[in-house]
Structure 1
């Protein structure tokens, strides 16, 4: 699998269309990540927020609101809220996973320490709740508050499921819906709600975000076993070394012989990893067509995302969101 050269184009088009709004979001983020009394907070936050991420999730909020004719200004606050929630979860995830690299740079927990990452993550969660209250819309507050709880629940579920060979695709999907798709769907849904869209359009936006988020995470799992480090911002095989049962491995285990299952038990459940184990894992994934099967699932969810958009009014941004669903899967081929 290789990362395609043209994959950034749909996201860049969306970024260009939302340029003024994203500038406002970035300004608000910089303002709200400040702290008069604890200078480490903006130091740690800036390290991650200014690391060159594409701001995909807040762009989804802005895109949904703009597509439905919302003139502003509260979609900017909601988009900043989404980014703060996302950044807080990244800081916490890197501590839990003992990660050393994100987006091609050293993680905050490596540059500072675990305590700083956890506490600054807590601060950003608190800031996100301050922001989500300001529009004075109870429905958007409910959506984002529920998403925050769902994300945390998904992360805790992953702790018990990630190294249990009994984890099946249903549990995997539940984890992904929690830790990844919940914020995608909340981001699109609140954009529709703040724009005053009818319920069927808000539901369509939720369905789009949910499907896009699932597809995004499956592709991310695939890239861990076949993406270039400079393209993914992490080392190939990190999920294997961290003993995470992602979709390709779950599919390979389902088809495994007793000897192959013993390998997965040793490396994933017991954590006894030796030189050459990653290469053998890749061999087993190839033997059972696990990568191709996982990619087919990602394609199916991307198609579901596109189908959800059909219920929304014609708009150039709707076309960009459709292209974005294709973009997510085009990262692997």
Structure 2
């Protein structure tokens, strides 16, 4: 067991390269499963699914399943199908999200709903969800099936919770954390935990990996929400200001509204209600979230959750996989800088 305490931010330029190199051989096998299982006699299905799956994403979630298995010294193959299932759940969620949000860009490319329309995107998302459940069953672990299917339900609940919170200026920080904990962190947590299940490790190790993934997922989403106000489309892979124009009360806005004077709070009420969403309004929103340090404090929260993710690995032996998983957290937090 390792007693080493790693402090977040000790690397100046963290990278995903170590974790990508660690799992490269396994990821090739997972990609083969993904390619095989997104096929259908209906040509639109692989065409639309392939557009998103081949869209340049780093496959962070399945990588975490594979890296967690390596951390545990697992030498079997059951985690390959579970990693593919994780990616299908994530991809299906993205397809549905882009319809709900009327998004135009995803990872710098036109979204599937813009190219093929909303009905096709929703239905192909359903197809991928179905494929994910087939893969879970084939992994022959009822516990893994329970964890991933439970995460799928939690993600859906989180998306509905977010939908009902849109344009709600009174959204609390607690409810915001509930939303991102469900819609983002739940799949990160499950992706890591199922590796311990198929490796037949003690529940304490399951829970440690769950905590690692969950805290990483929260940190990841906090950074995403912050960079909506500090970045551009080429960096983000989506249009800058999407969250603002969609009336999403992310943490930078929650903090800026709470800290604003009467005039600033009036601006936020109009903006979140959808009455002030022009480019100059977004520029004013950027000014406000920066002037009251709402972005800085959001990123500080991300670092807090990132450190919790790293600490969750403290009981595991020092090894290449552990180092790579720690650096993945550092990379996720450093994306905003």
Same fold by TM-score greater than 0.5? yes
CA offset digits 1:275-319 (Å, max 9, x no partner): 511111111112211011101100000000010010222221111
CA distance 1:326–1:9, shift in 2 (3 Å)? closer
Match of 1:15 in 2: 20
Residue 300 to residue 240, structure 1, CA distance change in 2 (3 Å)? same
Structure 1, unaligned runs of 5 or more: 1-5
Aligned residue among 206, 210, 215 for 1:206: 210
CA deviation profile, 1:60-97 (whole Å, cap 9, x unmatched): 00111121111121100000000000000000000000
| 1:1-333 matched pairs, under 5 angstroms | 10-36=15-41, 38-333=42-337
CA distance in 2, matches of 1:29, 1:169: 37
The structural deviation recorded for 1:161 is: 1.4
Q: Does structure 2 retain, via aligned residues, the 8 Å contact 1:209–1:305?
A: yes
Is the contact between residue 148 and residue 190 of structure 2 (CA under 8 Å) also seen in structure 1? yes
Runs (4+) off by over 6 Å: none
The CA distance in 1 between the partners of 2:12 and 2:32, in whole Å, is 27
Contact 1:243 1:271 (8 Å CA) reproduced? no
The whole-number CA distance in structure 1 between the counterparts of 2:137 and 2:190 is 15
Contact 2:14-2:330 at 8 Å conserved across structures: no
CA distance in 2, matches of 1:126, 1:106: 25
1:13 positional shift: 1.5
What's the TM-score once normalised by structure 2's chain length?
Answer: 0.94
Which residues of structure 2 form unaligned runs of 5+?
Answer: 1-10
1:30-81 Cα deviation digits (max 9, x unpaired): 0000002x11000000000011110100000011112111112110000000
Task: Report the CA distance between 1:162 and its aligned residue.
Answer: 2.7
CA distance in 1: counterparts of 2:256 and 2:14, whole angstroms? 33
On the 8 A contact 2:185/2:215 being kept in 1, the answer is yes
Contact 1:7–1:327 (CA under 8 A) maintained in structure 2: no
Q: Is the 8 A contact 2:271 2:277 kept in 1?
A: yes
Query: 1:3 maps to which residue?
Result: none
- Equivalent residues of 1:306, 1:322 under 8 A apart: yes
Query: Distance between the aligned counterparts of 1:242 and 1:26, measured in 2?
Result: 34
Does the 8 Å contact 1:162/1:246 carry over to 2?
no
Q: Secondary structure at the match of 1:24?
A: helix
Over the residues paired in the alignment, what is the CA RMSD in angstroms? 1.4
In 2, distance between residues paired with 1:86 and 1:125? 9
Rounded to whole Å, the distance in 1 between the matches of 2:13 and 2:34 is 24
- TM-score after normalising by structure 1: 0.95
What corresponds to 2:5 in structure 1?
A: none
